[in-house]
Structure 1
Amino acid sequence: MPRTRAPRTHTAATATPAATSSGLLIIRVALGAVFLMHGAQKLFEYTIPGTVASFGEMGAPLPEITAPLVAVLEFAGGVLLILGLLTRVVAALLAVDMVVALVLVHAAAGFWVAEGGWEFVAVLGASALGLALTGAGSLSLDRPLLRGRAPAWLA
């Protein structure tokens, strides 16, 4: 007599590919929107000269170079995360951005963001690192353009 199997139930450990891709899309769009807005703030509200001055006051090295780089990375990186384009590379760069912000600016202020602490940059950095490790999922522009493969140096 042939064996019959019990119906398979899905748990967090056995999420469907569609659920995984949907979850990655939600994380990408939310994280991308936050980075996009912070980059836009640095570029258009504070302006580059204001962001350079702010970076200098915070003790960032070479603020004339790092401030514009960070502003553009956060703005363009946010757009690219939302689209799911070059996700692994962009997310890795944004994770580094958050580690530097944590170490140079936020660590000394303690944990709480209301006091200038590191809780918010830790969540942003961890989320970006997670995307760098997992990729964008199938609901992205990476899927058709890169076929889900990470660049060899990142894989």
Structure 2
Amino acid sequence: MVKDVAALIGRIGIGIVFVAHGWQKWTEYGLAGTGASFEKMGVPLPSVSAAFAVTVELAGGLALIAGVALPIAGVLLAVDMLGAFFLVHISNGLLGEGGGELVVVLGAGALALGFNGGAYALDRVLFKNNKVLNPAAA
């Protein structure tokens, strides 16, 4: 039970951060502004990358919070953070201004919680016998 509560708290915390970042990209910068920012940073296909980041961070963050489609959300969020690390943050190192420590922690945390989301997740109810979306069924 303690592990399940810890997983729930972790999912909610990391999910909130992803939703906040996706929401900021969507509402403060807009897709065009996010794409322009990505272009300045040298991100390939900046408009497509912006749409991917906004969608994955919002939907994936909400999925983490709710505990639904956790393996899919975890993998997509980890891919999003891998892109952020290698395309934007790596030149700044891990620590300091623009460093990659946050994206490393968020990506690794999302991936881990995507496959170990605990008992308090909608996947456990909705996909009781599905070994992919409910690894506990395996």
Instruction: Please say if 1:48 is aligned against 2:31.
Output: yes
Once the two structures are superposed, residues 117-151 of structure 1 have per-residue CA deviations (whole angstroms, 9 ceiling, x without a partner) of: 111111101101211332x2111111100127442
Give CA-to-partner distance per residue, 1:47-96, whole Å, 9 cap, x none.
11100101111111111111011101101111111110111110111011
The structure with more helix, counted as a fraction of residues: 2
Q: Which residue pairs with 1:122 in the alignment?
A: 104
State the Cα RMSD in Å: 1.7
Deviating 4+ runs (over 6 angstroms)? none
Change (3 A) 1:103 1:147: same
Aligned residue type for 1:93? L
Task: Check whether the contact 2:16–2:61 (CA below 8 A) recurs between aligned residues.
Answer: yes
Q: TM-score, normalised by structure 2?
A: 0.91
Stretches of structure 1 that go unaligned for 5 or more consecutive residues are 1-17
Contact 1:142 1:148 in 2 (8 A): no
- Greater RCO (Cα-Cα under 8 Å, separation 6 or more): 2
Distance 1:45 1:104 in 2: 22
AA aligned to 1:30 is G
- Aligned residues, how many? 135
1:1-155 equivalence runs, <5 A = 18-112=1-95, 114-134=96-116, 136-147=117-128, 149-151=130-132
Tell me how far apart the structure 2 counterparts of residues 148 and 40 of structure 1 sit (CA, whole Å): 33
Residue by residue, what CA displacement relative to the aligned partner does 1:80-119 show, whole Å, maximum 9, x if unpaired?
111101111101110111111111110110111x410111
Give the fraction of aligned pairs with identical amino acids, expressed as a percent: 44
Does the 8 A contact of 1:88 with 1:150 survive in 2? Answer: no
CA distance in 2, matches of 1:121, 1:28: 16
| Matched residue SS, 2:38 | helix
TM-score by length of 1: 0.81
